[in-house]
Structure 1
Amino acid sequence: MTDRREIPDTPLFDRDVNRQGYALNKFAMSLGRPDNRAAYKADEDAYLARFGLGPATTAAVKARDYAEMVRLGGNLFFILKISAVDPTPITAIGAAQVGMDHDRFLKERLGK
């Protein structure tokens, strides 16, 4: 049987990754409340510091590097809450996941 982690270009959300991404996911879920979104927009660094994110995770959030957030244990459904703050269309996240320019992604993957 092949190790599930050996599927090329496929980040899997297993127990280990879930544990790794706990703080990131907790942060992302907090953005479901309007007062938390306001605090995050007012001072992103201070708000992120509340959650004890590591340097790589903090950098991924600040860069809006959704593919890296998933790799670091972010659950896509929670990460969408981060994208809603900007707002970032879900198709842009999909494009980032596969390493494509957004316009190219729309054309090649969605026929738009």
Structure 2
Amino acid sequence: MDADSIPDTPLLDRDHRLRGYRINKMAMGLGDPANRAAFKADERAYLDRFGLSEEEKSAVLSRDWREMVRLGGNLFFILKISAVDPVRITEIGAHQAGMDHETFLRDRLGKKV
């Protein structure tokens, strides 16, 4: 293991950023209302417009937030996907941590649930 690595944490280096270009570009496009409508109407067709790999499409279609980040997705960009559903950011945090939402709120954020 690299001395600069953190277990289970993707390193945001040049290669990772380049790998995530397609998924990030697709997610940024969701800032446009017409693109959001196209995404809602046919997600797979919308993803095809950006040339996403099957692995990337699978992560987006299943809303696997952790996998999207592993594949190079920038959290600030992929949050635009969550706005379409909508999904609370704390739910994404729970998914990233491998926890259910209530446990995440209680144990990570100190919230009473």
TM-score above 0.5 = yes
Question: Which residue in 1 is equivalent to 2:51?
Answer: 52
List structure 1 runs of 4+ shifted beyond 4 angstroms: none
Q: Which has the higher helix share?
A: 1
Distance in 2 (alpha carbons) for counterparts of 1:14 and 1:77: 16
Q: How many aligned residue pairs are there?
A: 110
Question: Which residue in 2 is equivalent to 1:41?
Answer: 40
Unaligned runs of 5+ in 1: none
Distance in 2 (alpha carbons) for counterparts of 1:9 and 1:35: 36
Question: Which residue in 2 is equivalent to 1:85?
Answer: 84
Identity of aligned residues (%): 66
Unaligned runs of 5+ in 2: none
Deviations 1:78-111 (A, max 9, x none): 0100111000000011111111111110111112
TM-score (norm: length of structure 1):
0.94
Distance in 2 (alpha carbons) for counterparts of 1:54 and 1:43: 17
Q: Does 1:74 align with 2:53?
A: no
1:1-112 alignment, distance < 5 Å: 2-4=2-4, 6-112=5-111
Amino acid at match of 1:78: F
Q: RMSD value over aligned CA atoms?
A: 1.0
Distance in 2 (alpha carbons) for counterparts of 1:71 and 1:108: 24
